Structure 1
Amino acid sequence: MLIAKKLTKIYNNGVVALDQVSLIVQKGEFVFLVGPSGAGKTTFLNLVIRQEVPTSGLISVNQQNLAYLKKKEIAFLRRNIGVIFQDYKLLPQKTVYENVAFALEVIEAKPRMIKPRVYEVLELVGLLNKANLFPSELSGGEQQRVCLARALVNRPLLLLADEPTGNLDPDTSWGIMELLREVNRRGTTIVMATHNREIVDQMRRRVIALDRGKLVRDTPKGGYTLET
């Protein structure tokens, strides 16, 4: 599903964001990406969605080398990758329904397919009764659920989550994690960058740790830190 081999990213200012990172994420896995701020987590996710290009090494999704994709191929790649952000990135002038539907409209999905698919994912995240509300009328947890619905509406093979619980209280965070667990159970591969120790420790999924751009740990059913 996702392969990195000696993946390196050096920015123009000389900062080494990733240094010789090698890993494989198999289809259907749920992986936590952990490490201190500046460790390279967001850079790694940006490379996966082709927001950034590696300085050297390989990053591939579904056997596609992302460094050499053409513009049209990048657009197609992103149709198969859902992304959840910490700061939601919802369109404030659009309703919940319209925010989710927009993800299908931009890929020119057939109009007759949009409404049933949007309602399907809104039901999954528990927001069917709030389809006509605007983001400003929702709580933070509800806005994050809209982001999740938007990320899932294209039925992506891979879901990337960048600190999806960072702005949420503990109870709301666990609600989001239960949804992600259900999405993963249905077959979607998930890579989640997080600083939330409690969630990582309790869920006991694979943990990949980065520190100053280097991969320092890859633990199946691991915790946020190495157990003593």
Structure 2
Amino acid sequence: MHIQSSAVDDYLKTIYHHTEWQTAPVTPSQLASELGLAPSTVTEMVQKLAAQGLVSHRPYGPVSLTEAGRVRAAAVVRRHRLIETWLVREFDYAWDEVHDEAEVLEHTISDRLLEGVSARLGHPTRDPHGDPIPDASGAVVREPFVLLAEARIGHVGRVLRVSDRDPALLRALESAGVDVGHTVTVAGRDAVRVDGGATLELPAGAASAVWLTV
């Protein structure tokens, strides 16, 4: 049976994202939750992806990308993150506005235009949220990191990445100065000092949405 290419890409991208900033593999039930689909639908699709050699999966076990799946997923992620960067730099989009636009454009922009965008932007290696942009071969450069929620009190690190899952939280963190490139000192369970300033109380969920250098 023919599987729509965009559907395959969405599955592979979701699996790729799940293990990008932590090591636990994704389960079919987690995939179903992430994609907003019925578990039975996801199970059927995972079996088809496995038959194509894009994922590895045992019944009731986690799902992981094969090398072929990783390369294809990285290509989709590259498209998405380059488009987000392009929208922010060239069209004055805010960093909390670009995700949904990129979700649409990543399936329609040509490879030629994408590489033209990359060249115009100076071949960026990170998107506006700090996520690494894979190069044309699928390779990424990622610094050692720690989730803010898991960092010890007194830890000092540069903000590497802020999750783009919650636009309202993105706006709140930006207002507080907790955005990519700034230096944060962990002052408490939900409190930080930014660039050596006063202690700030973080909004709910923030500590689980920010990654720092170690």
Q: Same fold (TM over 0.5)?
A: no
Structure in which a larger fraction of residues adopt helix: 2
Q: What range is the shorter-chain TM-score in?
A: under 0.3
Output the TM-score relative to the length of structure 1.
0.24
Output the TM-score relative to the length of structure 2.
0.25
Structure in which a larger fraction of residues adopt strand: 1
Higher relative contact order (CA 8 A, sep 6+): 1
